[in-house]
Chain A
């Protein structure tokens, strides 16, 4: 069974830079996993941030960027703002139409 790993929590100061990662329990993440990233605030539906590793969804500020760093997918927030305080989830396409979410990272901006 494929497990997608994310840091459970992270904190960043306003204006700072943070990189969240998305890995696989076995093996490396590559562009063939089509990593995508989602932001969710309590009580709200998720919002799509990044797809195809590094393409920003419409309306997403350019302080959000996606990449592959080493053997993981990464979401970098440059110049964090207070309203970036949210949960962040990655999704990897793993096989034959199956996708798997990571457990999510709770980002605190303080």
Chain B
């Protein structure tokens, strides 16, 4: 059974950094690409980033490009999202999701809340 657990969220001041983690279990983590998706309070879902199974390719939404970095450690079955130069508009629940068939997101974690506020 696929299990994804995000952690690392919290309250952070504008301009500061934060690193989110997503611990994976129940499947062969190194065989799957992984997404990050976020959802601002009361708003819709926003795709953030994608990393291939071996970490060789990474893709980002324009809204986070140059500030956020997706990475993974297949030896630890863990996905990361480094959030730098945080802004108030980055306040959201951040979800990790497994890359499924046809670029889909086939399994989701429960999310971790990041609040950017002074």
State the A residues within 8 Å of B (CB): 1, 34, 36, 38, 40, 45-48, 51-53, 55, 57, 87, 89, 91, 93, 96-104
Chain A interface mostly:
strand
Contacts of A96 in B (CB 8 A): 59
Whole-angstrom distance between the alpha carbons of A100 and B103 in the complex?
A: 11
- A34–B47 Cα distance when bound, in Å, is 15
Q: Give the number of residue pairs across the A-B interface with Cβ within 8 Å.
A: 71
Chain B 63-97 near chain A by CB (<8 Å), digits 1 or 0: 00000000000000000000000000000000100
B103 cross-chain contacts in A, Cβ below 8 A: 34, 36, 91, 93, 99
Q: Which residues of chain B come closer than 8 Å to A103, judged between CB atoms?
A: 44
Shortest distance from the beta carbon of A104 to any chain B beta carbon, whole Å:
4
Given that A57-B106, A98-B59, A98-B61 are known contacts, is A48 also in contact with B100, CB under 8 Å in the complex? Answer: yes
Q: Is B26 an interface residue (CB 8 A)?
A: no
Chain B interface (Cβ within 8 Å of chain A)? 35, 37, 44-47, 50, 57, 59, 61-62, 95, 100-111
